[in-house]
Structure 1
Amino acid sequence: MRVYVAGHRGMVGGAISRKLIERGAEVVTRTHAQLDLTDQTAVRDFFAAEKVDAVVLAAAKVGGIHANNTYPAEFIYENLMIEANVVHQAYAAGVQKLLFLGSSCIYPRAVAQPMREDALLTGILEPTNEPYAIAKIAGIKLCESYNRQYGTDYRSVMPTNLYGPGDNFHPENSHVMPALIRRFHEAVRDGAKQVVIWGTGTPKREFLHVDDMAEASLFVLDLPPEQYAANTEPMLSHINVGYGEDVSIRDLAELIAQVIGFEGEIAFDASKPDGTMRKLMDSGRLLAMGWKPRIALADGIKETYDWFLDSKA
């Protein structure tokens, strides 16, 4: 089976690629330099030449609160173009199976917790990442629309906050987990007595290890069509993927500090935005089908920090 993994150099795409190779699949990849997914003609030519059996669409422009606030036009434009080109050109080339990876930010800011799939489009989005969220919602609707009109089997999974080997540890454009790991690492390295964290520390977030996400993605991709259909609806076809528990940013910071060995003060800058106060996914649909996460948060943080150290060596 030939599977094109778009975004194979990213954390999620890399993990999914590894799992596919372990299964014996032939994984087709292209770097951004080799294939610009915002270029419609280039994407069309790629699909016409490669004749893949399935697509995993993990490519996206991603970042934390700072990046989303600073580059909103880039976040909505690039993600919309990637999704539109890959989904349409996959269909045009006769590819029947596709898995689109979205994000928990698709759900309204003020939504009942844990967040169910049917909460989509029921309220106002979190302003700090609205452009990215709208692009991801469009990706879900692209898959649903092509299924309805053309009979394709394009599926969507909505992961909670992901972390693990291959994460982005950029000092400004990273998500909360890698940002905190880097900050505490540098504090220990430099002998700092205090680490200051954006916000109040009270928001809660759910975290899922990327290897668990990779296994969940392939689990959903492999579901027989009748089983997938029985657990979704034509206009509500996405499936949540989460760990099932959340943690406050304060408690997360303390856990990361413990793993890294920082013994100084942890302070919070309440003048900076918190973002959404809670984002816990309801993964009941997926759990009922037989999948469950296996990597505990403390173990995952330790593994991620070890990878970060190795990547800097």
Structure 2
Amino acid sequence: MGSSNHGTTVDSFLSNQSAKVFVAGHRGLVGSAIVRKLQQLGFTNLLLRTHAELDLTRQTDVDAFFAAEKPQFVILAAAKVGGIHANKTYPADFIAINLQIQTNVIDSSYRHGVKKLLFLGSSCIYPKFAPQPITEEALLTGPLEPTNEWYAVAKIAGIKMCQGYRLQHGFDAISGMPTNLYGPYDNFHPENSHVLPALIRRFHEAKVSGAKEVVVWGTGSPLREFLHVDDLADGVVFLMDKYSGLVHVNVGSGKEVTIKELAELVKEVVGFEGELVWDTSKPDGTPRKLMDSSKLAELGWVPKIALKEGLVDTYKWYLENVKQ
């Protein structure tokens, strides 16, 4: 039955629970959530390889893996990621490693007969001053955020590679662009974590040490969008099952929260009793960053995990898994 070149998948992903599914990057925040979701749905044949077992930057190794294992579906969640500091320090790594991983995986998938591939990007592919909320059409309409240009350019190349292989070879490669994600297996490192895990850690440490106050940078006025990683995993499965098209698809919650509201919510979830102080001498960053996920909503998918519920879940995971 398979899928035709017109992108109408007759044989749905969800009806293929015994099919070999290669989840690249299965130990990360995103990959681990996708694995949990697929296991819940009854997929029994997941192909998982650690970095030590398969180095995705090595073309011959990737090709040999595909030749031997012949996966039918591929979800590409492997990437080199990091915060502003890492991007500034290792620009060569961010462009080279990401280009190598995605080029090797997408090309081998096509050449070894994969039925469908989903490539995951990031909202940082969009221009720094893209109109809000950011639609898929904003791609390549203006300059990128200078701090993570190298990572963003690699991710844009991945989208374009999926499109190129679809146009030239009829290969069913699609792309999804998630908004800011959070949840189990996030990076809670004190120096290079993102805003939400950083807040969880700081409020927790303040609670444990009995501190009187927690100081947060800026005014708390910028608006941000967050999506629980289990919602993303659900969206990924939905796209694998229902979507086949040239254009990448935004995957967001469509809900905005100010950094102030976020900090208050984290304080409440963690149970920190002290004072929350804003250091307004520090910069705020971009005033607003919201993705337009109406394309995905029109296809019939909406997120299910409310922010507070998701924060409770994430804090519970932090307590059980992150060494104090």
**Bin for the TM-score computed over the shorter chain:** over 0.9
1:255 to 265, 280, 284: 265
- In 1, Cα distance between equivalents of 2:99 and 2:285: 23
Query: Do residues 221 (structure 1) and 231 (structure 2) align?
Result: no
Stretches of structure 2 that go unaligned for 5 or more consecutive residues are 1-18
- In 2, Cα distance between equivalents of 1:197 and 1:65: 18
2:251 aligned partner, one-letter code? V
From the superposition, tell whether residues 67 and 253 of structure 1 become closer, same or farther in structure 2 (CA, over 3 Å): farther
Structure 1 match to 2:36? 18
The SS at the match of 2:175 is strand
When the two structures are aligned, how many residues end up with a matched partner?
304
1:124 to 120, 133, 143: 143
Deviation at 1:191, TM superposition (A): 1.7
1:7 to 10, 16, 25: 25
- In 1, Cα distance between equivalents of 2:54 and 2:228: 28
1:9 aligned partner, one-letter code? R
Stretches of structure 1 that go unaligned for 5 or more consecutive residues are none
- In 2, Cα distance between equivalents of 1:196 and 1:59: 34
1:183 to 202, 226, 235: 202
Deviates more, 1:194-203 or 1:122-131: 194-203
Deviation at 1:202, TM superposition (A): 2.5
Deviation at 1:270, TM superposition (A): 5.2
Structure 1 length normalisation: TM-score? 0.92
The SS at the match of 2:140 is coil
- In 2, Cα distance between equivalents of 1:70 and 1:182: 24
Structure 2 match to 1:61? 80
From the superposition, tell whether residues 311 and 81 of structure 1 become closer, same or farther in structure 2 (CA, over 3 Å): same
- In 1, Cα distance between equivalents of 2:191 and 2:274: 22
Deviation at 1:64, TM superposition (A): 2.4
1:290 to 259, 280, 300: 300
The SS at the match of 1:172 is coil
Deviation at 1:273, TM superposition (A): 5.0
Residues 96-117 of structure 1 show CA distances to partners (whole Å, capped at 9, x for unaligned) of 3100111111111111111100
From the superposition, tell whether residues 177 and 146 of structure 1 become closer, same or farther in structure 2 (CA, over 3 Å): same
From the superposition, tell whether residues 271 and 43 of structure 1 become closer, same or farther in structure 2 (CA, over 3 Å): farther
Structure 1 match to 2:111? 92
Residues 173-202 of structure 1 show CA distances to partners (whole Å, capped at 9, x for unaligned) of 211111111111111111222323344433
Query: Do residues 302 (structure 1) and 312 (structure 2) align?
Result: yes
CA contact (8 A) 1:159 1:242 kept: yes
- In 2, Cα distance between equivalents of 1:185 and 1:14: 24
- In 1, Cα distance between equivalents of 2:113 and 2:84: 38
Matching of residues 114-193 of structure 1 within 5 Å = 114-193=133-212
CA contact (8 A) 1:241 1:283 kept: yes
Deviation at 1:65, TM superposition (A): 2.6
From the superposition, tell whether residues 135 and 51 of structure 1 become closer, same or farther in structure 2 (CA, over 3 Å): same
- In 2, Cα distance between equivalents of 1:140 and 1:275: 27
* TM-align CA RMSD: 1.6
Structure 2 length normalisation: TM-score? 0.89
2:90 aligned partner, one-letter code? Y
1:104 to 111, 120, 123: 123
